[in-house]
């Protein structure tokens, strides 16, 4: 089937255009995802397209609009997680988000950045891992290679440069421990949430 499509394309589209499209394939995919799909009014459609592009996201995930995705192939998200509006999810080096993670608005997670001491300003980075039951406050920034432990809380506006232990609350620039979180069996299911609404 692929050979048939290629032969049809070759007969219709000039080879120079095909070469150009191939060179720009990743950029065009990211444009399609971040300009069209990211703002599409259906969460289900957003998740399906992300999964078709290589991400692993269950349909139980809440994916709000306006997010920016870099390399969906490296993105893995657990059940019951809620991605807030206008998040930047950089999965170029890998990004694994656990179950029942709560994102505030405009969270930025970076897995790749530049080596400012390199003569060519080369890109360096590492996979970012977010544990289960983590709460990421609005506009916090997580830098490459960081691991956020289970049940941790990152305060709004914090810049996380180092690993965060389980059930720790961090805040500030750079983020430092400001409190401990109770180590209990958290339940973020919709039924539990409704019971606690006032």
DSSP codes of every residue in 155-195:
-TT-EE-S-B-TTEEEETTTTEEEEE---------HHHHHH
Are 168 and 136 in contact by the 8 Å Cβ rule? The answer is no
Candidates 85, 113, 114, 196; catalytic one: 114
Residue 114: active-site member = yes
**Strand runs (DSSP E) across the chain, as ranges?**
62-63, 68-70, 75-77, 82-83, 88-90, 95-97, 102-103, 108-109, 112-114, 123-125, 128-130, 135-136, 141-142, 147-148, 153-154, 159-160, 168-171, 176-180
Are 38 and 68 in contact by the 8 Å Cβ rule? The answer is yes
Would you please indicate which residues are annotated as catalytic (active-site) residues? 114
């Amino acid at each position: 089937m692929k050979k048939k499509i290629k032969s049809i394309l070759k007969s219709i589209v000039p080879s120079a255009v095909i070469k150009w499209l191939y060179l720009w394939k990743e950029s065009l995919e990211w444009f399609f995802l971040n300009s069209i799909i990211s703002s599409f009014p259906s969460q289900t459609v957003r998740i399906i397209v992300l999964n078709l592009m290589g991400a692993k996201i269950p349909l139980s995930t809440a994916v709000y609009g306006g997010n920016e995705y870099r390399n969906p192939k490296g993105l893995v998200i657990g059940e019951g997680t809620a991605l807030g509006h206008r998040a930047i999810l950089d999965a170029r080096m890998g990004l694994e988000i656990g179950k029942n993670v709560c994102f505030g608005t405009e969270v930025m997670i970076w897995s790749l950045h530049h080596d400012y001491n390199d003569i060519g300003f080369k890109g360096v980075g590492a996979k970012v891992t977010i544990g289960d039951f983590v709460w990421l406050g609005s506009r916090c920034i997580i830098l490459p290679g960081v691991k956020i432990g289970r049940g941790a809380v990152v305060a709004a506006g914090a810049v996380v440069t180092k690993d965060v232990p389980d059930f720790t609350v961090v805040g500030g620039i750079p983020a430092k421990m400001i409190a401990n979180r109770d180590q209990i069996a958290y339940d973020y299911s919709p039924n539990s949430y409704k019971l606690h609404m006032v």
